[in-house]
Amino acid sequence: MRKKIVAGNWKMNLTVQEGLQLSAEIADFVKNNPLEKLNGNPAVIMFTPFTHVYSVSDSVKGLKGLSTGAQNCHTEEKGAFTGETSVSMIKSAGALNVLVGHSERRAYFGETNEVLARKVKAAMDAGLTPMYCCGEVLEERNASNHFEVVKEQLEKGLFWLSAEEFAKVVIAYEPVWAIGTGVTASPGQAQEMHAYIRGLIKDKYNNEVAENTSILYGGSCNAKNAAELFANKDVDGGLIGGASLKAEDFCTIIQSF
């Protein structure tokens, strides 16, 4: 059965000290409310800035179901790539996950589906779980191109993987027009796209792989609307930006299954 997941994307926010304060509050919640006893038995991930990965990972070590991730990685293992961070560095810092292809990376840093495919490969080779982000911009939705755009992102970024490899990937559907805008996709819009994505996976691989793939929704998901989004059959949790920076809100979202 596929896993329910709530992931916080801290983006470029919080000092290390502030991040440790936030992770301590989330860890306290998990200690008092073991995740396996909550509805849906969700896994919880904190995608922190690189500078925070080691200390935040260390601070939550041993807490079942709670892990960390980096928000990006480089395609190469090591070498003369000043300012970059490799998957083995991320792993050695204690993270289990890495975000690949967040729309801000695509838009501001020119990351193409082709580069992202190499990042997915690097992550998997290192034993990290890649969370691959996809989603259309507003013009694409208004032109009714959203299904095609997401299909291409998945085909180029992921669908070259074998079924065995694909089984290790998590997908986050994040309509770009909903990210940080306060405009959330309606539960119907989210369900429609998630079902479409699951159908593509079924066509490419098989029903079992499709049914076992976790597909998260992201884009202005918050403590108030998480429950109605997560109630949809094909929505397996959320990738949370702004609302992941407040422990109380994030912990409410964790309990929204």
SS3 state of residue 34: coil
> According to CB under 6 A, which residues from 131 to 170 bind ligand PGA?
none
Structure-token pair, residue 184 = 């959330």
135 vs 210, which CB is nearer to ligand PGA?
Answer: 135
Q: Where does residue 143 rank: exposed (0-12), middle (13-18), buried (19+ CB within 10 A)?
A: exposed
# residues contacting ligand PGA (CB under 6 A): 13
Specify whether the CB–CB gap between 41 and 80 falls below 8 A.
Answer: no
**Shortest distance in whole angstroms from residue 55 CB to ligand PGA:** 22
The contact pattern for ligand PGA, residues 4-43, with x = CB under 6 A and - = no contact, is -----x----------------------------------
> Which is closer to ligand PGA, CB of 11 or CB of 204?
11
CA distance 9 to 194: 20
Segment interacting with ligand PGA, rule: CB under 6 A, options 32-40, 108-116, 206-214, 235-243? 235-243
Encoded tokens for 83: 């300012």
**What is the spatial distance between Cα 158 and Cα 156, in angstroms, rounded to a whole number?**
6
3-state DSSP call for residue 217? strand
Question: Would residue 174 show up in a list of annotated catalytic residues for this protein?
Answer: yes
Catalytic residue among 102, 111, 136, 146: 102
Residue 174 within binding range of ligand PGA, rule CB under 6 A? yes
Active-site residue 102, yes or no?
yes
Q: Which residue is nearest to ligand PGA (CB)?
A: 241
Torsion of CA 21, 27, 28, 33, to 10 degrees: 150
Whether 217 contacts 229, CB under 8 Å: yes
* The two three-digit tokens of residue 80, written as one number: 């003369």
Instruction: List the beta bridge partners of residue 170.
Output: 131
Query: Of the listed pieces 56-64, 116-124, 189-197, 214-222, which binds ligand PGA according to CB under 6 A?
Result: 214-222
Give 128 or 135: the residue with its C-beta nearer to ligand PGA: 135
| C-beta of 19 vs 210, nearer to ligand PGA | 19
* Least distance in angstroms from the C-beta of 67 to ligand PGA: 17
C-alpha–C-alpha distance, residues 128 and 120, integer Å: 9
CB nearer ligand PGA, residue 123 or residue 253:
253
User: Which residues are annotated as catalytic?
Assistant: 102, 174
Q: Which residues bind ligand PGA (CB under 6 A)?
A: 9, 174, 179-180, 218-221, 239-243
